Structure 1
Amino acid sequence: MHAPRVTVRGGELEGRTVGGVTAFLGVPYAAAPFGANRMRPPQPVEPWTGVRKATEYGPTTPKGDYPPQYQPLFPEVVIPGDECLNLNIWTPDPGASGLPVLVWIHGGSFMNGSGSVGAYDGSAFARDGVVCVTINYRLSAEGFLYVGDDVANLGLLDQIAALRWVRENIAAFGGDPDRVTVAGESAGAMSVTTLLSMPLAEGLFSQAIAQSGAAAHTLTADEGRTVAKYLAEALGVPPTREAIRDVPLDTLVQAASDLVTEVQTAADPAKWGRIAASLLPFAPVVDGSVLPAHPLEAIAAGQGGDVRLLIGSNRDEARLFLVAPNAIDFIDDATLDAGAGAYGLTLDALDVYRGNRPGDSPGDVLAAVVSDWFFRIPGLRIAEARAAAGTAPTWVYRFDRPNIPDNHGFGSSHAAEIPFVFDTINREELRPLIGDNPSQAVADAAHAAWVSFITDGDPGWAPYTVPGRPTGVITEKVEEVADPSGDEREVWDGIR
């Protein structure tokens, strides 16, 4: 191992090289978001003197715990410290030039996660010629509180600040600022499609990847104020930014986590409205300024149209939310009928799902319905809107592994694709989600498709068009399939 050095705008950094990959970890891209900077837009980094060691992950942003049923599946990293707006970089050669760049925005319901999670280790991307960057951004109320003042979507502004930092500094690590692909999963993918729709993000990336998340999951300004009202009530303070900011940080984090637990486990639709279905009380808010319009509307009007997009979802997304709490086997036909109805499906439409799954349990069928409502259909609406607007190409994928018996019943559930995309399947802490014998062939296929897209702008199958709807179905290989599960897609027309 040796200690290479680079110079960025803040000063000189010292990283580490192991196995042909050089990493610079915990590099601040904005000032610490505390004190005078608390709940305000990100501020520039204070330059440092001397050489700053960048050999360990930096502080994580304030966050609570995942609900108990998900904690074994998503090992959290918690690192104390104020300089939590930081990023990590893996490069094949800091002395190179013109290398493609991947910037990864983590998921976690806008409540959890960090760029330091082991599944996101960027070494395999660097091994294959890509400069990989993973970022932190403010979460929960710190990042997405909206009270109707002139401050909104601080988490998105953090992401934009990180992308600007990459544009200004990535050449020092061998990367090409004009070859940046921004990518993310779940809340990270929702962030990516939202960034795609935002004038503030123009010119910061030329390609985008959205894994299991799309622009359907935003809040209106009224919904944002409703969340702030309930949060303030829980804290016993007025629903103003100043009053909420004055609450001790740990108290605020816990209250926000309790609010999310309520929404995700026992939400009253009369109280929460649409949020009871979206399950995301903290999310990007269409405030009219930072986020001027609903992302899907902006994308349909051509915003982000010069950016190539890879978007898709996993076959068994919602099994995560039914298997983890041991609920899937307790769902009967009446519960299935009611659940599908709550998402807008008629019994005739539900029969399409049942007919395609003879012998499956009602819980299995409900998982397929929820997977489409929450993840697949919103992604396809983005692809359809871009196709209609005549934008740069969009590619659609579906990830179909692991199979259900191979990973404790989860199948190709939400987040299962990430270790295969990053080729980090050998990490022991990922076994509860991806199984004890994850397929290297699947990792090879998925990772190669991502590297191909990031490097050459083409993942290896035809761009999405209507009516053909070519889709890359990822298993131990990548196969182009025309409109997979098209009969189920059609039942959502006019509903989702």
Structure 2
Amino acid sequence: MTEVKTSSGFVRGTVVDGVASFKGVPFAAPPVGDRRFRAPEPPEPWDGVRDALDYGHTAPQGDYPPPIDKLLANVVNDGDDYLNLNVWTPEQAIGGDPRPVMVWIHGGAFVNGSGGIYDGTTFARDGVVMVSINYRLGVNGFLWFGEGTPNLGILDQIAALEWVRDNIRAFGGDPDKVTIFGESAGGMSTATLLAAPAARGLFSRAIVQSGGGHIAMSPGSAVKVARRYAKILGVEPNREAVAAADPQAILAAQSALAAEVSKKPFKRLWGDVAANHLPFEPVIDGTIVPGLPETAIAAGASSDVGLMVGSNAHEGRLFLAPTGSAPKVPPFVPYVYARTAGAKKPAATVKAYRKHRSDESWGDLTAAFMTDAYFRAPALRLAESHPGTYVYEFQWESPQVPGLGSCHALEVPFVFDSLDGAKYSALTGPSAPKGLAAAMHKAWIDFAVTGDPGWPAYDHTTRSTMVFNTTSGVQSDPRPHDRRHWER
């Protein structure tokens, strides 16, 4: 056991093999009662020493839809005090020279996940202080009727980073050398923080995994979504009425709304959300999120922040292969995706993709559009607009489900160098290459420590991309024939 003093009081953590961990440490007061739809407030100080031995409560959420729930790790621990974080640090760093800090923002489409799914031991083992955080999800974090404080989930992330700034030195971390990184909604959050004025100065480097700066809806779209949500829930269209509803009904209405968006992705119904199928996401409110993040970044927001971005080769297959629906997708579906996802010439895009994938099903073609439109192209746009950005692509393919390939979220256990645990085995299988995990984990740490992950930065001439696979190496402009269809 070991103890550290925070701004709210002492916390007691555990030490195993030279790594000290502190779990479930509150960075904000419980967002319940009058605080339900307000900006995060500091936690109440405590007397004595608070045990930080186990992961804390998680944000209210439902389950991942089947059969994806069998592949993606998730833990739900109900309770009010869920604005908490976890810290892993080399034991010798406490009271010693400050180490670089890495802050992980979890994914889950802004409705699932928690910082308590992940174990930062490998990062601390290799010399950095690792932090994972929670934030408000779904209705609690992103529902907005046009009144009150928007983007509460993003404000929670900023509050967690402020806690890191104020407290991490006591854990052996350097508050001036913080790297934020996240995957999926966590990657989208990372890009949003790059564009958020309130997050300026809270981090010096960022890694966007399978995310991008293209996710944020207009105020009008947010109100459309919120009003439809209230109708599904059967309450008046305001936050007070939503807060008074049964907690399980709130989650059930979230799922029903998501199903409606997926079934009828029409702009007249959902506005911006029709293009990305995420009814709960940041809203462009003009202050917290002043504009579309990728536009703000292109205009110079966080130009002094080091950046690494990337995606997986078959992101979209996670949403089709596990259900076995890919071979059943009719030919018109790729055309719909090409149009709604922003291809410059949808019909020509389908024809060109078909030319290079003549042996694949229409479902595989749809998954390729999802991969490039929602993940790869946004990552490359960030790299093109932010000089000195490093780009990667993860290509190792999972053997677990036929056609799963290098799907969405598959790279996470490699980044964490955590292939041995049962947590990820359903996705990776029992024989995933440990050498690849070691190489990726090292690149992420090298970037956090030095700003250089070990390969050339991306530019318009070479488009250097580190391809991670059983044999990894730098490639120049992988699949240019696909990339060009999504350029803006």
- Please classify the TM superposition score into its range, dividing by the shorter chain length: over 0.9
2-structure distance, mates of 1:338, 1:11: 55
Where does 1:1-400 land on structure 2 (aligned, <5 Å)? 3-93=1-91, 94-117=94-117, 120-265=118-263, 267-268=265-266, 270-343=268-341, 344=343, 345-387=345-387, 393-400=388-395
Deviations 1:212-271 (A, max 9, x none): 011111111001001110111112222122222222333222212221233235545542
Contact 1:410–1:433 (CA under 8 A) maintained in structure 2: no
SS at match of 1:27: strand
| Count of matched residue positions in the alignment of Structure 1 and Structure 2 | 484
In 1, the alpha carbon distance for the partners of 2:196 and 2:487 equals 26
In the alignment, the residues of structure 2 paired with residue 251 and residue 338 of structure 1 have an alpha-carbon distance, to the nearest angstrom, of: 32
Distance 1:243 1:81 in 2: 21
Deviations 1:174-224 (A, max 9, x none): 110011000100000000000000111000000000000111111110010
What is the deviation of 1:16?
A: 0.4
Aligned AA for 1:249? P
How many angstroms apart in 1 are the aligned matches of 2:264 and 2:183? 25
Residues 151 and 326 of structure 1, relative CA distance in 2, 3 Å threshold: same
Cα distance in 1 for residues equivalent to 2:195 and 2:447 = 21
Tell me the amino acid that sits aligned with residue 210 of structure 1: V
The answer for unaligned runs of 5 or more in structure 1 is 388-392
Kept in 1: contact 2:220–2:271 (CA 8 A) = no
Percent identical residues: 46
Deviation larger for 341-350 or 85-94: 341-350
Unaligned runs of 5+ in 2: none
Matched residues in 1 for 2:216 and 2:263: separation?
20
Q: Distance in 1 between matches of 2:225 and 2:19?
A: 44
Distance 2:187 2:244 in 1: 32
- Contact 1:407–1:436 (CA under 8 A) maintained in structure 2: no
Alignment partners' CA distance in 2, 1:224 and 1:293: 14
Contact 1:402/1:438 (<8 A) preserved: no
Residues 220 and 311 of structure 1: CA distance in aligned 2, closer, same or farther (over 3 Å): same
Who is 1:454 aligned against?
448
User: In structure 1, which of residues 414, 419, 423 is the aligned counterpart of residue 408 of structure 2?
Assistant: 414
Q: TM-score, normalised by structure 1?
A: 0.94
The verdict on how the C-alpha distance between 1:80 and 1:332 changes in structure 2, with shifts beyond 3 A counting, is closer
Counterparts of 2:302 and 2:41, CA distance in 1 = 26
Deviation string, structure 1 residues 378-417 (Cα, Å, up to 9, x no partner): 1111111223xxxxx21111111125x4654311100000
TM-score (norm 2): 0.95
TM-superposed CA distance for 1:105, in Å, is: 0.4
The residue that corresponds to 2:396 in the other structure is 401
Assess if the C-alpha contact under 8 Å between 2:321 and 2:401 holds in 1: no
Is the 8 Å Cα contact of residues 441 and 477 (structure 1) preserved in structure 2? no
In terms of mean alpha carbon deviation, does 470-479 or 174-183 score higher? 470-479
What do you get for the CA RMSD once the two structures are aligned?
A: 1.7
Pick which of 353-362 and 19-28 moved more.
353-362
1:305-353 deviations in Å (ceiling 9; x for gaps): 1100110100010000111222111135454445435543434333332
Distance in 2 separating the partners of 1:473 and 1:246: 50
Given that residues 26 and 81 in structure 2 are in contact (C-alpha distance below 8 angstroms), is that contact kept between their aligned partners in structure 1? yes
Aligned-partner Cα distance in 2 for 1:262–1:335: 17
Match of 1:390 in 2: none
* Partner amino acid, structure 1, of 2:210: S
What SS is found at the alignment partner of 1:239? coil
